[in-house]
Structure 1
Amino acid sequence: MKVLQFTIPVPLDKSIIVQKDVLPYFYPHLHRHQEIQLTWIQQGEGTLVADNNMHSFRSNEIYWLGANQPHIFKSESSYFLPKSRKKIVALVIFFNPYGELSAFFNLPEIKLLKNFVQQHQSGFKVPPEHAVEISGKMLKVTNSTGTEQLIHFVDLLKQLSTYADITPLASGQKTQLVSEHEGIRVGNIYNYIMQHYDKPITLEDAAKQAHMTPQAFCRFFKKHTLHTFVSFLNEVRINEACKKLTDGTYDNIATVAYTCGFNSITNFNRVFKTVTCKSPSEYINSYFQSVEHA
């Protein structure tokens, strides 16, 4: 999907770009760039859309995004409130294995690392049990320069390549390439749904945002996202419900269901199990068991 193609500014004396973001919220538009992106969410929460899949993200999580992989870290709605004092903090490493580093990645000694990069074009989340280790290596890259920085960068990639429990962020099926205009339209629809998921949203409402008839909108949305409108809306709502169920701020499951846009607990339970393959209570138990063993 050709979506807001970015060119990451690369200094003449750098092939690895390190960026520290301290902002009111993450960049709110679907975009992509030639560089692979490794992002450590130091502070912030929301929903990551990568290709045609959604994932909740929280502080102290690390994500690898492939070259030219459409993505958006969408901050929670509370970050956009007029009087919000919240901020996001992220450490990001960008590199292009097909640009300045192409000769390096073509060295026979780097073959295993090159294979690792090529095998993970759909991105992945660093397994939670390895997040401390990888964040430490990212800091070494950040706090060094020249040859030392390149050595720490290779060490970072080498460590990532040893993990066997990596799950892609996106399915193998890719969305079709579309024009810049269509990509921006898809991004606007994503934004609208993510900002209004907690209210009743009809197909007609979404179609109006795209300036299309409902029938044309259905065809367009399925073609470019691999989702129906309803399945995408349900995934957004369930992603938000998962965050609310595990952050301890809601008294019960029913309250979470209604604050995420569901009009009945029965429908919420059914959709929740369809999306996560678990009931809400099973999901809560599984989450806190994994936290205890992390």
Structure 2
Amino acid sequence: MKSHIQKLPLPEQSSFVADRYITPYFETPWHYHPEYELVLIIHGKGRRFVGDHVSDYCEGELDLLGPSLPHWYRKDEGEKQGGSLVIHFREEFLGKDFLQIPEMQKILLLFEKSKMGLHFGAKTAANVAAKMETLLSCTGIDRLMCLLAILKELSESTEYSMLSSPEVIGRSNRENDRLQKIFDYVLANFKQEIQLQEIARIAMMSPSSFSRYFKNRTKKNFSHFVNQIRVSHACRQLIKGNFSISYVCQESGFNNMTNFNKQFRKVVKLSPSQFRQKHRV
């Protein structure tokens, strides 16, 4: 399935879209749209790609993504089911000038921050999850009031982190299709050496042109992106298994322990052994 500018149908007698999505409809490849998106993961785990950000996701996590911010939630291959509660809405869903009134300034600031993608902490996510479930069973003005209550909660939360750099925005379908092919190749081959010439061939570019292109589109070097994927995989192995660190190093695509430790510290800010100890306490 090709990535694209997603066009969301607006239900009759409603100013926004809210629904529950379960595999296979949970995953839409690398895409963007003019609406804000609030996504709550309710089933499965995998990797999120938001702008130039890559990280793992799991059940119970909550993100708010601004308009035209490219994203992709890729369910792990071993996961039989993926699912999410999602709300899509445009900035003017309450009317063109509604956000300019004094009472809406906190929500207006929330929208501005969401242009880089916001990931909320567990307490906020749990509170909002209950409200999202309620919203799905409501109609009319009660449904609208539920969304306003959710936005109020998010605007007042202090437990959040930014996901992407502000420069990353969605581009044309052709550009998204090319990035999708690059991401797919890396995710299928990160455990082995990835040659610049081969990935450039997939992108139908020369190696030098590809390096400039990838940096321009994602705001990071291709090698750094690959290392992020490898470190993400290593983190999972360190948490869930009793594998030796040297085994995790090789299994994650790093060819020596020195480079593994260096890249792991660069991404996680801890050594592999410190990370394992922290997450097993």
- Fold shared, TM-score > 0.5 on shorter chain: yes
Match of 2:238 in 1: 245
What's the C-alpha RMSD, in Å, of the aligned pairs? Answer: 2.1
What do the CA deviations read for 1:95-122 (whole angstroms, capped 9, x no partner)?
A: 1113565454344432332232223211
Q: In the alignment, is the contact (CA less than 8 A) between 1:19 and 1:92 conserved in 2?
A: yes
SS state at 1:12 partner = coil
Q: CA deviation at 1:168?
A: 0.7
Matched, 1:158 2:152: yes
Q: In the alignment, is the contact (CA less than 8 A) between 2:124 and 2:153 conserved in 1?
A: no
Aligned partner letter, 2:121: P
Matched, 1:123 2:117: yes
Matched, 1:235 2:228: yes
Match of 1:139 in 2: 133
Q: In the alignment, is the contact (CA less than 8 A) between 2:92 and 2:98 conserved in 1?
A: no
Say how many residue pairs are matched.
279
Aligned partner letter, 2:266: T
Match of 2:264 in 1: 272
Higher mean C-alpha displacement, 16-25 vs 203-212: 16-25
Aligned partner letter, 1:263: N
Match of 1:83 in 2: none
Match of 1:69 in 2: 69
**Whole-Å separation in 2 of the counterparts to 1:64 and 1:143:** 21
**Whole-Å separation in 2 of the counterparts to 1:61 and 1:244:** 20
Q: CA deviation at 1:183?
A: 2.6
**Whole-Å separation in 1 of the counterparts to 2:252 and 2:25:** 21
Match of 1:56 in 2: 56
Q: In the alignment, is the contact (CA less than 8 A) between 1:175 and 1:223 conserved in 2?
A: no
Provide structure 1 residue ranges, at least 5 long, that are not aligned to the other structure. Answer: 80-85, 290-294
Match of 1:87 in 2: 81
**Whole-Å separation in 2 of the counterparts to 1:151 and 1:288:** 42
SS state at 1:78 partner = coil
Q: In the alignment, is the contact (CA less than 8 A) between 2:200 and 2:210 conserved in 1?
A: yes
Q: 1:198 aligns with which of 191, 194, 204?
A: 191
- Normalised to the residue count of structure 1, the TM-score between the two structures is 0.87
- Normalised to the residue count of structure 2, the TM-score between the two structures is 0.91
- Identical counterparts, % of pairs: 27
Aligned partner letter, 1:192: Y
Query: Relative to structure 1, is the Cα distance of residues 193 and 131 closer, same or farther in structure 2, using a 3 angstrom cutoff?
Result: same
**Whole-Å separation in 2 of the counterparts to 1:111 and 1:207:** 46
Match of 1:82 in 2: none
Aligned partner letter, 2:252: C
What do the CA deviations read for 1:113-149 (whole angstroms, capped 9, x no partner)?
A: 2232223211111112322112111111112111111
Provide structure 2 residue ranges, at least 5 long, that are not aligned to the other structure. Answer: none
**Whole-Å separation in 1 of the counterparts to 2:280 and 2:242:** 16
Matched, 1:213 2:213: no
Aligned partner letter, 2:14: K
**Whole-Å separation in 2 of the counterparts to 1:257 and 1:266:** 10
Q: Summarize the alignment of residues 108-119 of structure 1 with structure 2, pairs less than 5 Å apart.
A: 108-119=102-113
**Whole-Å separation in 2 of the counterparts to 1:14 and 1:198:** 47
Aligned partner letter, 2:7: T
SS state at 2:227 partner = helix
Q: In the alignment, is the contact (CA less than 8 A) between 1:51 and 1:70 conserved in 2?
A: yes
Query: Relative to structure 1, is the Cα distance of residues 28 and 250 closer, same or farther in structure 2, using a 3 angstrom cutoff?
Result: farther
**Whole-Å separation in 2 of the counterparts to 1:92 and 1:108:** 28
**Whole-Å separation in 1 of the counterparts to 2:143 and 2:172:** 38
